[in-house]
A and B are shown apart, each in its own frame.
Chain A
Amino acid sequence: RKEVEQDPGPFNVPEGATVAFNCTYSNSASQSFFWYRQDCRKEPKLLMSVYSSGNEDGRFTAQLNRASQYISLLIRDSKLSDSATYLCVVKKAAGNKLTFGGGTRVLVKP
């Protein structure tokens, strides 16, 4: 079993709609959680950190459920520019090593 699992998608989303997807992690020692965004053939870039209380950054909302060991990302009012692969990332307490999920591909269409 992979340490971080994601639905690979693609999620086909009409422009302006809301899309949400989850990621599950298996290691309960995971301490910090992030969503990275990766455009086609580009490098990953940090989208947002995920806090225990949930957090919002503009149209993006991230949630963490430690009991069930999953995190989620919700995108409201989807834009064509939101089309990308969203990578779920976890970090253990010690060190700065990141473990990436396989990514969820989102395609926003007019």
Chain B
Amino acid sequence: EAEVAQSPRYKITEKSQAVAFWCDPISGHATLYWYRQILGQGPELLVQFQDESVVDDSQLPKDRFSAERLKGVDSTLKIQPAELGDSAMYLCASSLGGTGGPATIYNEQFFGPGTRLTVL
């Protein structure tokens, strides 16, 4: 069964350091999402890509976070510098489509195992 891959699974860093997370979506999935999930809360969308283009980054703290999907396949999320409040699970998801088609159609998002970030 095809899966979304993420690495690393766990990352411990000190505040002010730079960290990067990698995601490889399910083959053929055009849409890729990065979520942040703070312990005890639901996932919150940080950025959504359609192929290589950003379609929604309204919740991405752009002063320290950046995301790219240069070839429209795998993606990298970077935090520089990391802050204590960035400690969370960072989840990547992918779906077949995302922005086109009938409004009521839901293209199921499949999640990867996540990267658990601890900032000390």
Q: Which residues of A contact B (CB under 8 A)?
A: 4, 8, 31-32, 34, 41-46, 49, 87, 91, 93-103
Give A102 to B39 CA distance when docked, in angstroms: 10
Q: B99, A96: Cβ atoms under 8 Å? A: yes
Q: Which residues of B contact A46 (CB under 8 A)?
A: 108-109
Q: B106, A8: Cβ atoms under 8 Å? A: no
- 9 additional A-B pairs beyond A43-B112, A95-B55, beta carbons within 8 Å, are A43-B113, A44-B43, A45-B111, A46-B108, A95-B98, A96-B95, A97-B48, A100-B43, A102-B41
Q: Which residues of B contact A87 (CB under 8 A)?
A: 42-43
B87 at the interface (CB under 8 A from A): no
Interface centre among A41, A87, A97 (most CB of B within 10 A): A97
Give A46 to B106 CA distance when docked, in angstroms: 12
Give per-residue flags for B99-111: 1 if the beta carbon is below 8 A from chain A beta carbons, else 0. 1000110111101
Task: Give 8 nearest A-B pairs by CB, closest first.
Answer: A100-B42, A43-B111, A96-B98, A93-B103, A102-B42, A100-B43, A102-B41, A32-B106
